Amino acid sequence: MSGIKDYKDLQIWQHGMEITEKCYYITNDFPREELYGMIQQTRRASASIPANIAEGYGRKSTAEYIRFLNIAQGSINELETHLILSSRVGLCSHEAIQAIIDLSQRTGRVSTPG
């Protein structure tokens, strides 16, 4: 990991932040009655991705880091489910979520150990 001074230098963390930012933007257009429903769930799942990557990076052992990468992968799966459901029930278009899903799948492939 030459050139990496902290978690913010990790490309996977940067992708996680980009996913989260895109999710915040897309959910801004959701109806207000979804504020404590799909908006909150989508934002929480997306924010969990880079947060778990950062937390794992700060742990003392590789095994703990891998455990947090696995948690981040779970958050990616949860997020994709929320986005797909949002599209299916008409909160947003399939096109609106596709770039986020593509990025999350690329990020998930990087974060999956082994």
63-104 per-position pLDDT tens digit: 999 999 999 999 999 999 999 999 999 999 999 999 999 999
Name the domain count of the chain.
1
- Tell me whether residue 71 is in a domain: yes
- Tell me whether residue 70 is in a domain: yes
The Cα angle at residue 52 between residues 77 and 33, in degrees rounded to 5:
55
Helix and strand counts by DSSP (H, E) for the chain: 4, 0
* pLDDT the model gives residue 60: 87
* pLDDT the model gives residue 108: 78
- Tell me whether residue 105 is in a domain: yes
Domain containing residue 104: CATH number: 1.20.1440.60
DSSP 47-70: HHHHHHHHHHHTSSSHHHHHHHHH
Q: Which burial class, exposed, middle or buried, applies to 57 when counting CB atoms under 10 A from its CB (0-12, 13-18, 19+)?
A: buried
Beta strands in 5-95, from DSSP E residues, in sequence order: none
- Tell me whether residue 2 is in a domain: no
pTM of the entire predicted model = 0.90
Domain span at residue 90 reads: 7-111
**Cβ burial 36-51 (10 Å sphere, 16+ → b, else e):** eebbebbbbbbbbbbb
- Tell me whether residue 79 is in a domain: yes
- Tell me whether residue 1 is in a domain: no
- Tell me whether residue 82 is in a domain: yes
In tens, the pLDDT along 8-67 reads 999 999 999 999 999 999 999 999 999 999 999 999 999 999 999 999 999 989 999 999
- Tell me whether residue 66 is in a domain: yes
